[in-house]
Amino acid sequence: MKDILEAPFLIEMVRTAANMYSHGWDERNGGNISLRLDEADAAQHLDTSAAIRDIPTGFEAPELEGLCFLVTGAGKYFKNIPYDPARNLGIIRIVQGGNTARLLWGLSDGGSFTSELPAHLMSHAARLRADPRQRVVMHCHPSNLLAMTYVHDLDERAFTRTLWQMCTECVMVFPDGVNVLPWMLCGTNEIGRATADKMETARLVVWAQHGIYGAGADLDETFGLIETAEKAAEIYLKIAHLPLKATLSDSAIRQIAAHTGVTPREGWLE
């Protein structure tokens, strides 16, 4: 069996977490990631029939029965993931209809999966229904997007339009726009269900006064999605208080979309 620390999926997870930390998106234990693993890939690096311990999840996710996920641990600092992946990350298999996460590797100090597992797994189920290639759910606390939720209308269309107007690339990267949840208590099944509902129609879901969720086919794509939205929020906060001399018009955004072959969310452009 190959060394798990040399598994491409593990290396990429560690690098992504380190990159998120260095972008300032994951202070202390802020943020969490889950990556759906390919069974054959995982089997090259670990005994996938192993059961180190079973951890109850407190919710059901029958569509995910039997699937394996590499996840960050609850209370683990992203800063520390590169120094000790086996302590800060875990590989779980979803069993008993989603009620149980069977630990196959990691969380070596006896820890548990991220407290946001409901939002992650329910979002995986929603994204898998939308697109079977989707593998990643990522949550973090990027400063500009978070700040924007204090000063911008939280209407999803208005929020998305502002982001699309901030950088030419935005509509190409997230043509489906950004969905927004009002502040809710985190770490609960309720916010998990609400996030997953929002994930049915967009790959980015802002949690007002908290952070953002992104979903994608791989870690790079999902990181890039959040990175692009965060950049747009940064531009917004730089210009929102200044007299405007120019805007990116709806017609310009339509041209970008047509030129790059993406379809902006129906009805979100004038």
The residues annotated as belonging to the active site are 116
Using CA atoms, how far apart are residues 205 and 226, in angstroms rounded to an integer?
10
What is the DSSP-derived secondary structure letter of residue 6? G
Residue whose CB is nearest to Zn ion in the complex, by number: 211
Q: Which does 32 bind (CB under 5 to 8 A by kind): ligand 13P, Zn ion, none?
A: ligand 13P
Q: Which is nearer to ligand 13P, 20 or 232 (CB)?
A: 20
Instruction: Report the DSSP pairing between strands 89-95 and 32-36.
Output: unpaired
Candidate list 116, 156, 176, 234; residue touching ligand 13P; CB under 6 A: 116
Q: Which of these ranges, 23-31, 59-67, 101-109, 154-162, lies near ligand 13P under the rule CB under 6 A?
A: 23-31
Backbone phi, psi, residue 225, to 5°: -65, -50
Q: Which is nearer to ligand 13P, 116 or 234 (CB)?
A: 116
Candidate list 43, 52, 74, 86; residue touching ligand 13P; CB under 6 A: 74
Nearest to 68 by CA among 29, 103, 107, 23: 103
Using CA atoms, how far apart are residues 195 and 140, in angstroms rounded to an integer?
14
Q: Which of these ranges, 13-21, 34-42, 100-108, 113-121, lies near ligand 13P under the rule CB under 6 A?
A: 113-121
Backbone phi, psi, residue 243, to 5°: -65, 130
Q: How far is CA 103 from CA 17, 19, 78, 219, in A?
A: 21, 26, 20, 22
Question: How many other β-carbons are positioned within 10 Å of the β-carbon of residue 109?
Answer: 11
Using CA atoms, how far apart are residues 210 and 234, in angstroms rounded to an integer?
16
Q: Which does 29 bind (CB under 5 to 8 A by kind): Zn ion, ligand 13P, none?
A: ligand 13P
Q: Which is nearer to ligand 13P, 88 or 165 (CB)?
A: 88
**Is 8 one of the binding residues for ligand 13P (CB under 6 A)?**
no
Q: Which does 62 bind (CB under 5 to 8 A by kind): ligand 13P, Zn ion, none?
A: none
Q: Which is nearer to ligand 13P, 120 or 161 (CB)?
A: 120
Q: Which does 106 bind (CB under 5 to 8 A by kind): ligand 13P, Zn ion, none?
A: none
Q: Which of these ranges, 36-44, 57-65, 207-215, 227-235, lies near Zn ion under the rule CB under 5 A?
A: 207-215
**Is 29 one of the binding residues for ligand 13P (CB under 6 A)?**
yes
Question: Hey, which residues between 133 and 192 contact ligand 13P (CB under 6 A)?
Answer: 139, 186
Residues 6+ apart with CB under 8 A from 4: 10, 45, 46, 105
Q: How many residues does the chain have?
A: 270
What is the DSSP-derived secondary structure letter of residue 58? S
| Contacts to ligand 13P by CB under 6 A | 29-32, 72, 74-75, 114-116, 139, 186
